[in-house]
């Protein structure tokens, strides 16, 4: 055992005390599962399902309540798309269907929901070919209509300056949202390509045709991306208003040397280099949540983590703010204030101090599953020890469902069970889709605000009770959750276990 890991384990008790004193009943606890790194490529149906099941089981035990699953890496699909070819990151050959046949997105929706997790479908909107892809399927958009994409640094990029590309991406997204019971639609930081030395974005013709009177090329490119974000948001809400639209931008909006409102950093910028005006999207309510990728360590010379989390906390509070965390880097670097341990405790302490931060997304899921630097253990035993509901989004829906009905305990062939009937509700804003079950010992005042009392979050209308000898009295409380995790009033039932 390394000194760093030993020190963290030794400090577990003190950190648990802090965590217990600041329990968060609502917190987004996400993890990115990506395909573009090739972790599933050519694995085969059964092996991939086993691996995904293993990852989901571990992540569930570690407290994760949302999975962000990459389903479109390069205008391809890890689902049955009528518009785009099967991904090579699934089968090894773009356009080749999996055999035995399955639909990974449909399967993941079911598996995540069974575990009480949300599933957010993650797409890369503009990237049409990554650097490692050598052949595109005949049905690929860049093969069918090559003028829609431009080459840049070994990639192909759908040109954001072409209005038909916005229409095309929105059509693809509408299909996903319409046919799959996803909880969110997620895009990351790839808008205009990351700058590469000697490379020029070839969009003179598009600027001439669609310039809309905007002379400055940077302003025009930002205008294109802004139009896309607004159109994508409207598309999602027109199909299913409850599906959350999230964006995960690069971690620096602007540097202070470029703008007085920027952060005290010296790195690549969303606004100036990627033409992504993220704060405009947040402040206009075009996105439902924002996850800046703060992958650096505390003390980084050009992009200090503490500086950046404080900046985003101050500037992006118009919508729920979650922080994208690099698991490996957090585990690798020592805390400058306590060199005997890694930076996880210090970063979690910063999270607790930020009034606008309502969650975390982990990059990447497998690093947590592999328990790099004891990261997963610390989540499970300390920071995410108790369950958490999703953060409220009253701008989508703030009305809670009604109380569950007919709460009763009965013996069955499967044991002693607690049953209830869903509350009456009409429409997605009123219908219950999950339930929270709490347990309280005899004489304990029921407190549903404390997540340590939660014994289950389920989509079923029953839960098995841990019967022993019938001598111990408990009060069980059940509440209903709607799609936006608004929580109804409690229903109570006393039982003897």
| Cβ-defined contacts of 418-421 (< 8 Å, 24+) | 418/462, 418/463, 418/464, 418/465, 418/476, 418/478, 418/493, 418/495, 419/461, 419/462, 420/461, 420/462, 420/478, 420/491, 421/461
Longest dimension (CA), the chain: 81
How far is 190 from 276, CA to CA, in rounded Å? 9
pLDDT at 23: 76
| Tokens at 134, concatenated | 């050598």
With helix as H, strand as E and coil as C, how does 20-89 read?
Answer: HHCCCCECEEEEEECCCCCCCCCCCHHHHHHHHHHHHHHHHHCCCCEEEEEEECCCCECCCCCCCCECHH
Residues 369, 390: Cα–Cα separation, whole Å: 22
Which of 275, 242, 245, 269 shows the shortest CA–CA distance to 256? 269
In 3-state terms, what secondary structure has residue 406? Answer: strand
Contacts of 420 (CB under 8 A, 6+ apart): 404, 405, 406, 407, 408, 435, 461, 462, 478, 491
Q: Would you say 275 and 221 are in contact if contact means Cβ atoms under 8 Å apart? A: yes
**What is the predicted pLDDT for the residue at 277?**
98
The torsion defined by the Cα of 50, 55, 58 and 59, in degrees rounded to 10, comes to -140
Bridge partner list, 78: none
pLDDT for the residue numbered 26? 98
pTM of the prediction?
0.95
Q: How far apart are CA 243 and CA 185, in angstroms?
A: 7
H helices of 149-252, where? Answer: 163-179, 204-210, 217-239
CA of 348: how far to CAs of 25, 279, 311, in Å?
A: 16, 24, 16
Q: What is the pLDDT of residues 425-477, one digit of tens each?
A: 999 999 999 999 999 999 999 999 999 999 999 999 999 999 999 999 999 99
Pairing of strands 405-412, 415-421: antiparallel
- Which pLDDT does position 33 carry in this prediction? 98
Strand order from edge to edge, sheet including 473-481 = 454-458, 434-441, 473-481, 491-496
Task: Report which of 390, 395, 428, 452 is spatially closest to residue 118, judged by C-alpha positions.
Answer: 390
Q: Tell how strand 357-363 and strand 28-33 pair up.
A: parallel
Give the integer Cα–Cα distance in Å for 214 and 156. 25
Helix 12-21 to helix 3-10 angle, to the nearest 10 degrees?
50
Residue ranges of the chain with pLDDT lower than 70?
1-22
Using DSSP's 3-state secondary structure scheme, residue 262 falls into: coil
Find tokens 């029921």 and name the residue.
Answer: 446
Q: Tokens 């405009």 correspond to what residue?
A: 280
Q: Do 91 and 102 form a contact (C-beta atoms < 8 A)? A: no
Token couple for 3: 């000194």
DSSP reduced 3-state for 462: strand
How many other β-carbons are positioned within 10 Å of the β-carbon of residue 123?
A: 22
Q: How many CB atoms lie within 10 A of CB 377?
A: 15
Distance from C-alpha of 44 to C-alpha of 37, rounded to nearest angstrom? 16
CB 207 within 8 A of CB 161: yes
């Amino acid at each position: 055992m390394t000194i760093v890991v030993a020190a963290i384990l030794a400090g577990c008790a003190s950190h648990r005390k802090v965590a217990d004193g600041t329990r968060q009943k609502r917190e987004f606890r996400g993890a990115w599962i990506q395909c573009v790194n090739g972790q599933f490529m050519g694995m085969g149906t059964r092996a991939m399902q086993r691996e995904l099941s293993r990852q989901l089981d571990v992540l569930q035990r570690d407290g994760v309540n949302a999975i962000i699953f990459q389903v479109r890496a390069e205008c391809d699909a890890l689902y049955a798309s009528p518009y785009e070819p099967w991904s090579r990151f699934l089968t090894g050959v773009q356009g080749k269907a999996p055999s035995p046949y399955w639909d990974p997105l449909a399967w993941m929706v079911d598996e995540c929901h069974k575990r009480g997790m949300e599933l957010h479908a993650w797409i890369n909107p503009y990237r049409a070919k990554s650097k490692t892809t050598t052949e595109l399927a005949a049905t690929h958009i860049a093969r069918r209509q090559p003028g829609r994409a431009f080459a840049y640094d070994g990639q192909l990029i759908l040109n954001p300056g072409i209005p038909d590309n916005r229409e095309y991406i929105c059509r693809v997204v509408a299909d996903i949202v319409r046919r799959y019971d996803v909880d969110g639609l997620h895009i990351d930081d790839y808008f205009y390509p990351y700058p590469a030395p000697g490379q020029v974005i070839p969009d003179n013709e598009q600027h001439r045709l669609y310039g809309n009177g905007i002379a400055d090329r940077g302003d025009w490119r930002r205008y294109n991306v802004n139009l896309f974000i607004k159109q994508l948001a409207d598309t999602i809400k027109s199909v299913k208003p409850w599906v959350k639209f999230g964006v995960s931008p690069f971690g620096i909006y602007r540097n202070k040397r470029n703008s007085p409102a920027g952060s005290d950093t010296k790195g690549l910028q969303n606004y100036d280099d990627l033409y992504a005006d993220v704060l405009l999207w947040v402040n206009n309510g075009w996105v439902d949540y924002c996850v800046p990728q703060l992958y650096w360590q505390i003390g980084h010379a050009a992009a200090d983590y503490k500086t950046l989390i404080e900046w985003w906390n101050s500037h992006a509070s118009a919508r729920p703010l979650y922080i994208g965390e690099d698991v490996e880097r957090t585990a690798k670097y020592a805390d400058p204030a306590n060199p005997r341990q890694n930076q996880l405790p210090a970063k979690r302490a910063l999270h607790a101090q930020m009034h606008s931060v309502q969650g975390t997304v982990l990059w990447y899921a497998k690093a947590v599953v592999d328990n790099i630097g004891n990261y997963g253990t610390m989540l499970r035993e300390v920071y995410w020890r108790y369950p958490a509901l999703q953060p409220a989004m009253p701008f989508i829906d703030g009305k809670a469902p009604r109380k569950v009905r007919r709460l009763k305990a009965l013996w069955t062939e499967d044991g002693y069970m607690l049953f209830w009937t869903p509350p009456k509700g009409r429409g997605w804003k009123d219908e219950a889709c999950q339930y929270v079950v709490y347990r309280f010992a005899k004489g304990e005042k029921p407190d549903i605000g404390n997540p340590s009392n939660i014994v289950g979050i389920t989509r079923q209308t029953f839960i098995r009770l841990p019967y022993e000898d019938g001598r111990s009295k408990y009060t069980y409380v059940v509440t209903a959750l709607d799609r936006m995790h608004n929580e109804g009033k409690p229903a109570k039932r006393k039982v003897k276990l």
